[in-house]
Structure 1
Amino acid sequence: MIRLELLKSFIAAADTGSFSAAARLMGKHLATVSGNIARLEDELGVVLFDRKGKYPEITAEGLNLYDSAKVVVDSAERFSNNALQLSMGVPAELTLALDQDINVDRIFAALPEFQKKWPHLRLTVVNLSAEDIFEGVKLGKIDLALAPTLEGQSSFYEFMAIGQCSLKMVVGKGHPLARKRHVSNDQLAMTTQILSNSWQSQPTMMQAARMSPYVWFAQGYHGTVDMVRQNLGWSTLMCGNDPIPEGIVELDAEFAQTEFLIQYDAIWPKNRGLRDVDLYLIDAFKGLLKLSVND
């Protein structure tokens, strides 16, 4: 089996254009790098560099083998790094659940860096209703979640308070209510109200939020935004401190004079400690969602 060190010397020489530059790049003696390349040529039975000129020039055969050598070295290094992380307790996979009723777009901005830090980890991200999140954590199907606080139900999960998110009353820019300077409760009650379908399983939330007998249901935050943008009715959005989505305006409504806040927690299965990967995502909950921390 060809030693990785020989392949690394070959790649470094091809990248830098000389054996001496490759030696400096690798922090090795010139004789070591030159010898590694010569041994590799002997093992392969192929001349990789033409040494006739002042600087060695990679041959057509060398060019042909270069990409394959890179794949082998990169794969071996990835394998070693993955094995090291697994030995240090980093999980092989993680299921992250996000409440479907809150705008979590900014959390996804943290995932490219997450991928760089833990490239071997297989991440699954799901947007679910609060009820499904708690059930998934209880059954051990969800490893970490951002969910509304559920009082008195923490017997099967650990939690960390993240903060509060305000509800904003909104309507599409083309809706008749958008042209009114002030909207009364009676006007809201006479207009179609759009609610998240997840609230159908939360009677207390439904009772508090429903103001109109004319109700349509949408699939989570983005479904609600889409329906409101089409001027189908008014709704309340959990936007955190993010701006109102394009095509939608906030209503100056009598009902909205009182600020409604929903507390959010990070939750995970009972009796499991937080790992570095969990803490990274919890920081994303706090920083990217810009929830106002409840001191």
Structure 2
Amino acid sequence: MIDALTLDQLRAFVSVVEAGSFRGSAKRLSRVQSAVSYSVGNLETQLGVTLFDRSGHRPKLTPQGLSLLAHARSILLKVDAMRARARELGEGVELELSIVIDSLYPMPWIMEALHAIRRSYVGVSIRLEVLPLGGPPAAIQEGRVTLGILAGEDLTDSRIELEAMHSHSFVAVAARTHPLAAAAEDLDTLEAVVLAEHVQIVLSDPTQITEGRDFGVLSPTTWRVNNQETKYAMIRAGHGWGRLPHWVVDKNLASGELVRLPVVALGLGGQTDVQFYLARRIDRPLGPVARAFREAILANHASGT
């Protein structure tokens, strides 16, 4: 009966295929050859099919055996994953890692760190939020996430523990076709009186944390967007000017599609360096997966990848 199938039989079947012989399978499984043959024979009886043609020097899969091989491998893979997950749970491994990332942070570094998590913790679920301004600190304060990456420390409070990582540069830019691009060629600095005539593209805060406050807003007329991708697209399209992370626009600047604006109020040459921090609530210690993510992010910073 199929209900009597065992994992031992399936492992013997797959092992014979991979080793190329019953003797090789026995060596792999640290068993005697007769035991492997017995397991495969019982499996064939219960399935009602012949898995191997044994008439030659080496066993050869029958068409039925070839068809069932993928199913056997899939079952064993799921069982092994279940065992690994149970072992992780016994060691206190989290069921889910929830992370919030400031939208200004380089996403390639996040993807690299997540690769490290997948290699070590296959069964862990990941929940990733990417938010601007007060979104990341609010998510940490409210306990919605385990770990966050924040841009600057202005929006945090005493409940959040910070660990400085690395700073990234931000530059004021406009499309090559924008009037401010031509002005930048004629002027060493762009002052507020010049900027006042043009729309500034600004990120809006999804929370109330920055209510009544603006960061780097110099133009009286603003277009506000809720994500970095839209801000980038609007500036590229020539709808206005704004600050963007250098890692986002370096290729556009090199090609001449975007032009740096020497906005004196935003730093030398219109460039500002922003410090990023790993952040968590002080009353929420990190589990093994969160610690592994932290280590992977810090390793990325150390190597400069």
Q: Which residue of 1 aligns with 2:216?
A: 209
* Equivalent in 80, 84, 87 of residue 83 of structure 2: 80
State the Cα distance separating 1:229 from its structure 2 match: 0.7
CA distance, structure 1, for counterparts of residue 24 and residue 145 of structure 2: 50
CA distance, structure 1, for counterparts of residue 299 and residue 171 of structure 2: 20
State the Cα distance separating 1:80 from its structure 2 match: 0.3
Give the TM-score, by structure 2 length. Answer: 0.82
Could you list the runs of 5+ residues in structure 2 that have no partner in the other structure? Answer: none
State the Cα distance separating 1:65 from its structure 2 match: 1.9
Q: Number of residues paired by the alignment?
A: 290
Q: Which residue of 1 aligns with 2:102?
A: 99
Q: Which residue of 2 aligns with 1:238?
A: 245
After the TM superposition, which residues 54-133 of structure 1 pair with which residues of structure 2 at under 5 Å, given as runs?
54-133=57-136
**2:146–2:286 CA contact under 8 A, matched in 1:** no
Counterpart residue identity of residue 294, structure 2:
I
Q: Which residue of 1 aligns with 2:165?
A: 162
Q: Which residue of 2 aligns with 1:18?
A: 21
Give the TM-score, by structure 1 length. Answer: 0.85
State the Cα distance separating 1:235 from its structure 2 match: 0.6
Q: Secondary structure at the match of 1:167?
A: strand
CA distance, structure 2, for counterparts of residue 51 and residue 17 of structure 1: 12
* Equivalent in 247, 260, 283 of residue 272 of structure 2: 260
**Structure 1 residues 200 and 57: alpha-carbon distance in aligned structure 2, compared to 1, 3 A threshold:** closer
Could you list the runs of 5+ residues in structure 1 that have no partner in the other structure? Answer: none
CA distance, structure 2, for counterparts of residue 289 and residue 243 of structure 1: 20
* Equivalent in 184, 203, 214 of residue 190 of structure 2: 184
CA distance, structure 1, for counterparts of residue 11 and residue 109 of structure 2: 39
Q: Secondary structure at the match of 2:70?
A: helix
Q: Secondary structure at the match of 2:153?
A: coil
CA distance, structure 1, for counterparts of residue 302 and residue 21 of structure 2: 51
**Structure 1 residues 174 and 237: alpha-carbon distance in aligned structure 2, compared to 1, 3 A threshold:** same
Counterpart residue identity of residue 220, structure 1:
N
The answer to which of 93-102 and 24-33 deviates more is 24-33
State the Cα distance separating 1:267 from its structure 2 match: 1.5
Counterpart residue identity of residue 92, structure 2:
G
Two-structure CA RMSD over aligned residues (Å): 2.9
Q: Deviations over 1:92-125 (max 9, x none)?
A: 0121111124442431233233223212111111
**1:102–1:237 CA contact under 8 A, matched in 2:** no
After the TM superposition, which residues 222-233 of structure 1 pair with which residues of structure 2 at under 5 Å, given as runs?
222-233=229-240
Superposition misfits of 4+ residues, deviation over 6 angstroms: 289-292
* 2:247 is aligned with 1:219: no
State the Cα distance separating 1:248 from its structure 2 match: 2.7
Identity over the aligned pairs, expressed in percent?
A: 23
**2:97–2:290 CA contact under 8 A, matched in 1:** no
State the Cα distance separating 1:225 from its structure 2 match: 0.9
Q: Deviations over 1:120-177 (max 9, x none)?
A: 1111111123323222222221111111343584432333222333321111233232
**Structure 1 residues 230 and 103: alpha-carbon distance in aligned structure 2, compared to 1, 3 A threshold:** farther
The answer to which of 243-252 and 186-195 deviates more is 243-252
Q: Deviations over 1:209-244 (max 9, x none)?
A: 1111121112232221111110111111234x6662
CA distance, structure 2, for counterparts of residue 176 and residue 290 of structure 1: 40
* 2:259 is aligned with 1:249: yes
**Structure 1 residues 211 and 110: alpha-carbon distance in aligned structure 2, compared to 1, 3 A threshold:** same
**1:97–1:127 CA contact under 8 A, matched in 2:** yes
Q: Which residue of 2 aligns with 1:271?
A: 283
The answer to which of 132-141 and 25-34 deviates more is 25-34
CA distance, structure 2, for counterparts of residue 161 and residue 204 of structure 1: 27
**Structure 1 residues 205 and 100: alpha-carbon distance in aligned structure 2, compared to 1, 3 A threshold:** farther
